[in-house]
Structure 1
């Protein structure tokens, strides 16, 4: 009897030791490296759902054990919504504490510069390791987004508003693109009404703004630049804007041109965006315009100017006649 009792004690001890080892294993880090995983807890999401997602993403070994420990440690109702950056070297308990903090959301700062086209923006986002240029461009051509915003083109070119954005890392590219387009309409909530007042639609205004954005110098009054192009439209004169030809070359290449060097043959190329060959506005914007350029497109200066040329001081010299323009060029 004494022998059986000893065996039972040993057996119980072994089972206890195995149980402890099992529990320690189950709550230990899944991986030993610092590989980052971006994890989202949605508003109102419960412990069971969170645990299942953690297991699916390979951050914990067992969702049921997570829930048991969360309840025991009273973390089950303190798992705060947000977007977290978790690495696989964290234990299950570490993850619980981290999700309970709610303070370390993974954010990335993205600055979209004025005057950049979607090819340049895509390259920038790839450099920032937010997405690939290929994926960004695919979203920029997404038909559902184009329909959602009534964009009469095959891309969202010109509708991405230049600004500094703080984005939750791991968010989809689609979410980012929609957010940046919404920022345009948030900045100009009456864009459609103001465009209609001067006889244009939103697409035409953003097209004009993009040309102004690319042409204006750092010290220019963009409204003067805008007036020149509107005056040319009124008299049915070709815009002859170099940036539109460069964009035509960009579309032909399928990528941005880092240091464009226009030749005479480029100005003669047959392309809808080449305003040296075609009258009127090009089919769409050629870049993302800042607030000043959009405002200039909506409210051009009242002038008779038809020509302008850079004067080397960060501004342009404007003229009404070609003779005056030639004199300005000579200067």
Structure 2
């Protein structure tokens, strides 16, 4: 700081401001400028990507454009991109690109399953993805009634319009388990048939393992043979074990089973159950076939159909009775007898019931015919 000026005229002068510092070489370096630009761009890109991911997540979880429930078929062999395009074309999702990226983000790109899917209105992309990953496809079913022949089973599978493919391996009689089987679109007829055979093998092993002792049945195959006969002799659940008991008693005494269904199967094979059982004649009973149990005192060589679980359980654990005979009682069931004399009385009663039924049918008035249409 200056002291007093030496003369009155001498003005007080301010201190001179310091010179600004020299500009750093680094600021002027183009490389530094480029680095700053890159870092700024990366930050902006990260912010944009974060915003995009946030938007995509909202879109992926938001209700979709579907206005009404719709079924869509995802074919086998379709990739993720094609599946996404199919869903967008059916208005299930709003954006195939978002769905594609979302599925990949969840690491499910290779886990989507083909099938027929029923999507509800407003379904989200996330829900669609879960359905495809879990295979929550529409299920269909095919039912095999108890006692059907394998030929009938094959015919039913061929008639089914949803199943695909040809049947190349036909199982033997008695090797199919009558049951209702569910499947999704795309399943083949051979797959369902193989499933029926596997189910029968598994069930037969279980039933055979808990069969009663001292049965005149030596193998699981013989159990199926007798069960197929029991299946055709009665449709009443409470009679199966008793009918099985009659046949077991006859086998123990080396008596012919004398089962009418075996006559039909010996004559017509797998087509027997399309025929009227009541039409059996004395001539049919006299025809020699390996299935004619009026002539052979043993089991026939094979099953006459595919027995269900209940019939096989009945043969494995039959009723403990002395019954050797049974005949229809006119109510859909049967009356049983221990002796031939008792059986003959029951047969006579059944003949009387048959005659009464025929007379009733003959005397019943014919159904009135519709009047011809008239014009006004």
Q: TM-score, normalised on structure 2?
A: 0.58
The answer to whether the 8 A contact 2:115-2:186 is kept is no
Structure 1 residues 254-263 or 205-214, which shifts more?
254-263
Measure, in 2, the Cα distance between the counterparts of 1:130 and 1:255: 28
Give the total of aligned pairs. Answer: 257
Q: Deviations over 1:294-317 (max 9, x none)?
A: 111001111221111010123211
Q: How does 1:15-34 map to 2 (within 5 A)?
A: none
1:185 CA drift (Å):
4.3
Q: Contact (CA 8 Å) 2:329, 2:335: kept in 1 or not? A: yes
Q: Partners in 1 of 2:74 and 2:280 — Cα distance?
A: 45
Residue equivalent to 1:184: 200
Q: Deviations over 1:14-56 (max 9, x none)?
A: xxxxxxxxxxxxxxxxxxxxxx97734xxxxxxxx7539x79x
Measured at CA, do residues 74 and 181 of structure 1 come closer, stay the same or move farther in structure 2, by a change above 3 Å?
same
Q: Deviations over 1:214-252 (max 9, x none)?
A: 11142642111011111111121111111111112232x
Asked if 1:39 is matched to 2:39, the reply is no
In 2, distance between residues paired with 1:280 and 1:160?
23
Please report how far the alpha carbon of residue 266 of structure 1 lies from its aligned counterpart in structure 2 after TM superposition. 1.8
Assess, with a 3 A threshold, how the Cα gap between structure 1 residues 325 and 167 changes in structure 2: closer, same or farther. same
Tell me how far apart the structure 1 counterparts of residues 326 and 347 of structure 2 sit (CA, whole Å): 9
Q: Establish whether residue 118 from structure 1 lines up as the match of residue 150 from structure 2.
A: yes
Residue pair 1:195, 1:202 contacting (<8 A) in 2 also = no
Equivalent of 2:342 in 311, 324, 329: 324
Aligned to 1:108: 140
1:34-89 CA distances to partner (integer Å, 9 max, x unpaired)? xx97734xxxxxxxx7539x79xxx9xxxxxxxx9699634444344433139xxx
| Cα distance per residue 1:137-161 (max 9 Å; x no partner) | x5224xxxxxxxxxxxxx1x22222
Q: Is the 8 A contact 1:217 1:316 kept in 2?
A: no
Task: Pick the aligned partner of 1:140 from 152, 170, 176.
Answer: 170
Shift of 1:126: 3.1
Partner residue of 2:6?
A: none
Q: For residues 160 and 306 of structure 2, what CA distance do their matches in structure 1 show?
A: 19
Alignment correspondent of 1:294 = 312
2 CA distance for matches of 1:325 and 1:196? Answer: 27
Q: Per the alignment, do residues 109 and 202 of structure 1 end up closer, same or farther by CA in structure 2, a change over 3 Å counting?
A: same
Query: Is 1:270 equivalent to 2:288 in the alignment?
Result: yes
Once the two structures are overlaid, the 10-residue window that deviates more, 309-318 or 115-124, is 115-124
Q: CA deviation at 1:201?
A: 0.9
SS at 2:276 equivalent: coil
Higher relative contact order (CA 8 A, sep 6+): 1
Q: 1:70 to 1:285 in 2, by over 3 A?
A: farther
Distance (Å, rounded) in 1 between the aligned partners of 2:74 and 2:169: 21
Compare CA radii of gyration and give the structure with the larger one.
Answer: 2
Q: 1:219 to 1:163 in 2, by over 3 A?
A: closer
5 Å-filtered alignment, 1:239-258, equals 239-251=257-269, 256-258=273-275
SS of residue in 2 equivalent to 1:190: helix
**Secondary structure of 2:311 counterpart:** helix
What do you get for the CA RMSD once the two structures are aligned?
3.7
**In structure 1, which of residues 62, 73, 88 is the aligned counterpart of residue 101 of structure 2?**
73
Q: Which runs of 5+ in 1 are unaligned?
A: 1-35, 41-48, 60-67, 87-96, 142-154
Residue number in structure 2 paired with 1:31? none
Distance 2:340 2:100 in 1: 84
Q: Counterpart in 2 of 1:168?
A: 184
Could you tell me how far apart the structure 1 residues matched to 2:237 and 2:130 are? 51
Alpha-carbon contact 1:38-1:170 (below 8 Å) kept: no
